[in-house]
Chain A
Amino acid sequence: MTRAVVMRSGIATALLTLVLVAGCGHQSPLGPHTPTGATILGGPDVTSASPPPPGWTQRPVIPASQQQAQDTIIGYLKKTLQVLPAGTTLDATRYSGGTNTPPCKDVDTGKAPVSFATIGELNLPAGVDPVGIVTQLGETWKRWGWYVVERDGFRKPNRFGYAPDGYILQIMAKDPVTDPPTLKADSPCFSGDLPDIRGPFPIVLKAD
């Protein structure tokens, strides 16, 4: 390595480090994910961050414990199952339980903020069209006052539902669409220091 390269590298590193250090204080690690790459249903196609529709406001409720995040998600999932044909279940067997706390961002020291996320498959009664279920759930979430979009960059049809409290549900058809659709949930980001203490998440979730 030549000295010129080393010098250039060193100066740029210093500048980059300054930029990074200066920026750290302006970022809130907590809160909801920003919806991106979305198509607002009934609105124009967009390819980057979408503004929420007029009149839609979000007041993220940051979970105070993992149990609270799990309980909230189970509540939304059960409420979702209740509008689906009787006998529909959300099955996480293929995903070995289907829960995760992925980091919302990497940090230099301490624990990274995380979200509580789940994944499972909607097992529908025989004869029910999975594609129609995707559309139906999108309409249901809109009736709840959620911001609902179909996003580019994912299998279609899909619907992403953004709740006012910062939680996100997403329903997505499989490939092929005759396979059970995937239903995911994700909480707002919360402190990674919260202890990993919560009851077991149901492998098979029912509406009741």
Chain B
Amino acid sequence: MREVFHAATARGNATVEASRQLSSLSVFDSWEGATAEARKHTNASIRQDLDAHGKESLAVAQAAGKAADDIEKVQSELRTLQHDASELHMTIDPMSNKVVPTSNALLTEALIAEMQLQPRLDKILAEANAVDAELAAAINMADGDTPIPEGPHENRPEIQKALSQPLPDDPKKFADLWNQLTPEEKDWLYSQDHDVGNHDGMPWDPADHLGKDHYNRLHLPELVQQTQADVDEKQRSLDDLMAQPNADDGAIYALQTQLAVQRNRLQGYQDVQATLNKSGPHRYLGQLDEYGHGAIAINNPDTAKRNAILVPGTGQDLTTMDGADNKSLAMYGAALDADHNLKPQDVSVTTWMGYDRPMDLAHADFPDPARASAANLDAFEAGQRASHVGAPSIDTIVGHSYGSTMVGAAASDGHQLDVDNVIAVGSPGMLVDHASDLSIDPGGHVYAARAENDIIGAAGGTTQWTLGPEPDKQSFGAIHLQADPGPSWPLGLPSIDAHSSYWSPENPALANMGSIIAGKPPPFVVGQR
């Protein structure tokens, strides 16, 4: 697929370049009369043909390129899963699509390993099915079975060239290009790729309102429809299978799992829609894809003077977007409360669910989900900076639970987070030994808050081996923020409720986070700063 991509791109570029050179020939400009008119007409006609041919090649190239990218992603995830399975004395049965123990696995260990690995395999299978559909579309365009949409006409050579290539990955370059495009060109790019609204660096809601928010809102009902169709189809398949007298238990289990994944995804999209419809400050849809990733901002980050990103943790997928958005809203209010000079539009808080977070505690011991998406969060924040209008905002990133591990991954091991402040809330570890190991903006601050009764403290004995030391430990070097102890279980045992208590209106942790987001020193810290 990569070769097809390169071949089609080269062919498309060459054709478009020929068209451009033809259009720039000045030799006919001085001609007059019928012959000259005929020549000019022929020239224009040839150019139109070349344009159309070039765009066909490039459309095929773009489809092939995307399929190649996605195939590589699936292959990489599968390799990682196979490696992890091998470490746990498990293997993948390609016939049943199940993770099964090898002969030397212990029963208890195998049960735990299956709980950890099977959901990851199910997700990879779902992604592989999506890639399969993309690939089919690319092949259909290449052999002419599917018509290729018309491209926009563009006289500016540099824009024509940019549109004839894959869109830039660099958020700054993307923002620069996007801000020069006409509305027709933006719409054309969406027609080519309905994920275009997820490009880091695309403005959230520019003057023509054709930005992330517009295109992701267009995509949302399509994803709902596609996912609903997938649910219906899988339900029919399951019903048919169950009706068979000797149905294979493995096949039934696999189908039930896939159906559950799709139902959950559908519920997630519906929760995204409900969150966008909420009253209060306007919500902007900054990210949405077929893998259940999403991001919703309170107010427009591009024009805010204070920006924050909340990265939720274990178990927080799109089906919990509404609740996570309410945590963001609580921080929005706390920031405005901390500085009376800030106006409502001056503060924006984005809930970022752009990674495949662990969905249960059994998976939350491992760094792989965070490391796999480190580049995503790094690039998302770079995109925030690239599309921002006016003086740079004060940017704060808040990672809760495993979300703080995600933040750590995005600020270490070669990644850089372009933020002024990092707040680790109820963190099991940030994949670094010390706050100074996090790569953030020069002069940036790292804060940590942990409720006394937060169960994450009890897990620290384990996660220190896999996720690094807890950031609230003095040796980590973060500024420790005050937080309420939170509720405890009987006999003073730590609780889960304390782990999610930081956004209560009566918790000083919320006031502290609000002050930091507002760009003011946190008023209440523990020990020395």
Which A residues have a C-beta under 8 Å from some C-beta of B? 1, 3, 5-10, 12-14, 16-17, 19-20, 23-24, 26-27, 33-37, 48-49, 93-106, 108, 111-112, 114-115, 117, 119, 121, 151-155, 160, 168, 170, 174-175, 179-180, 182, 184, 186, 192, 196, 200
Contacts and interface: CB of A to CB of B under 8 A. Distances in A.
A8 to B, nearest CB: 7
Contact of A26 (B323, B360, B489, B505): B489
B281 interface: yes
B112 interface: yes
A106 B112 contact: no
Nearest to A168: B506
B106 to A, nearest CB: 10
A27 B361 contact: no
B109 A112 contact: no
Contacts of A115: 504-505
A79 to B, nearest CB: 19
A103 B326 CA distance: 7
Contacts of A96: 280-281, 332, 344
A105 B340 contact: no
A170 B340 contact: no
Contacts of A106: 315-316, 320, 323, 496, 499-500
Contact of B329 (A24, A102, A182): A102
A112 B489 CA distance: 19
Which 9 pairs show the lowest CB-CB distances between chains A and B? A153-B508, A12-B462, A96-B281, A106-B500, A103-B323, A179-B340, A36-B484, A97-B280, A105-B497
Contact of B497 (A16, A27, A100, A153): A27
Given A5-B466, A6-B88, A12 B336 contact: no
Given A1-B466, A106-B496, A114-B326, A97 B281 contact: yes
Nearest to A1: B87
B147 interface: no
Contacts of B501: 105
A108 B508 CA distance: 26
Contacts, number: 172
B132 to A, nearest CB: 31
Contacts of A200: 279
A101 B342 CA distance: 23
Contacts of A104: 497, 504
A24 B490 CA distance: 12
Interface stretch (B69-77, B118-126, B453-461): B453-461
A121 to B, nearest CB: 8
B344 A94 contact: yes
Given A105-B500, A175-B338, 11 more contacts: A10-B112, A16-B361, A16-B458, A33-B504, A36-B485, A97-B279, A98-B333, A104-B497, A112-B320, A117-B505, A186-B504
Contact of A154 (B112, B336, B342, B511): B511
Contacts of B365: 9, 12-13
**B326, B343, B455, B499 — which one has the most chain A CB atoms within 10 A of its CB?**
B326
A9 to B, nearest CB: 5
**A13, A115, A179 — which one has the most chain B CB atoms within 10 A of its CB?**
A13
A181 B87 CA distance: 58
A190 to B, nearest CB: 14
Given A1-B87, A9-B466, A10-B109, A26 B490 contact: yes
A200 B330 CA distance: 19
B462 A9 contact: yes
B480 interface: no
Contacts of B300: none
A5 B337 CA distance: 45
B323 A94 contact: no
A196 B109 CA distance: 44
B336 to A, nearest CB: 6
B504 A174 contact: no
A49 B485 contact: yes
A108 B337 contact: no
A163 to B, nearest CB: 13
A115 B333 CA distance: 15
A100 B490 contact: no
Interface string B287-306: 00000000000000000000
Nearest to B337: A182
Nearest to B497: A105
A7 to B, nearest CB: 8
Contact of A102 (B461, B482, B495, B504): B504
Nearest to B488: A49
A153 B524 contact: yes
Contacts of B493: 19, 23
Nearest to A185: B505
Nearest to A182: B337
B184 to A, nearest CB: 34
Contacts of A100: 280, 326, 329-330, 333
Contacts of B316: 106
A77 B489 CA distance: 34
Interface string B478-520: 0000101111011001011101110111101001000000000
Interface string B201-213: 0000000000000
A37 B508 contact: yes
5 contacts: A6-B88, A103-B500, A105-B496, A105-B497, A106-B500
B78 to A, nearest CB: 18
A29 to B, nearest CB: 8
A114 B329 CA distance: 13
